[in-house]
Amino acid sequence: KLSNGFCFFNFMAAAALHAVARSGVTKLSILDWDIHYGQGVADIVRGNPAIRYASIHQVPAFPFMGETLEVTDNIKTIPIDPGTTWDSNYETQFMEQALPFVVDEDWVPDLVLVSSGYDGMAGDELATSNLVAKDFATMTRLLKERLESYETAGNRSPALMMGMEGGYQLGQNVMGGGLPEGFIETIKALDDVYS
């Protein structure tokens, strides 16, 4: 396979494979909200019966893959159009496509990993989606609420781990916020400070 993309060391796939092989995790989901399709993760975990991978990403955008809404084995690709905002289709795709694939009655993972990229923000120049910092808090809160409504075989809610991925706008006063604001909103939601 051809190596391409922004990720030279695929930490999310490595974390998933390690958790399944050595940490007693029998079911694991990866939710990738980085704005670029994570074809490397998909290639590495494809066909692994212990792992599900859902990617919600802009099309067209690099790497110009994952261009149709589909499920292939344990991989779900959820493309969104350029210019998408939370209210103009991202929320619908997140709630109706991504979250139910990550956890449902038939698939309750022990662990959910989030490829938490902030390059879908309005001010980021590597894509043209229009999310804002608070949207990442909303996604985190909605994911937490969904996970808390299910119990694993160990009688607890699935564990959650966030991994920081894309986000290339570091400047201040960026339309919709930049990487620091998106990251802070995510942390606040994880810590239940979000209001």
pLDDT (tens digit per residue) in 127-163: 889 999 999 999 999 999 999 999 887 788 999 999 9
pLDDT band at 112 (very low <50, low <70, confident <90, very high): very high
Cβ pair 121, 131 in contact under 8 A: yes
d(CA 32, CA 53): 8
Is residue 123 within 8 A of residue 175, CB to CB? The reply is yes
194 pLDDT exceeds 50?
A: no
pLDDT above 60: residue 34: yes
Half-sphere exposure of 90 (CA within 13 A, CB side): 23
Instruction: Read off the amino acid at residue 126.
Output: L
What are 41-92's pLDDT values in tens digits? Answer: 999 999 999 999 999 999 998 788 889 999 999 999 999 999 999 999 999 9
Residue 123 CA to residue 134 CA, distance in Å, equals 14
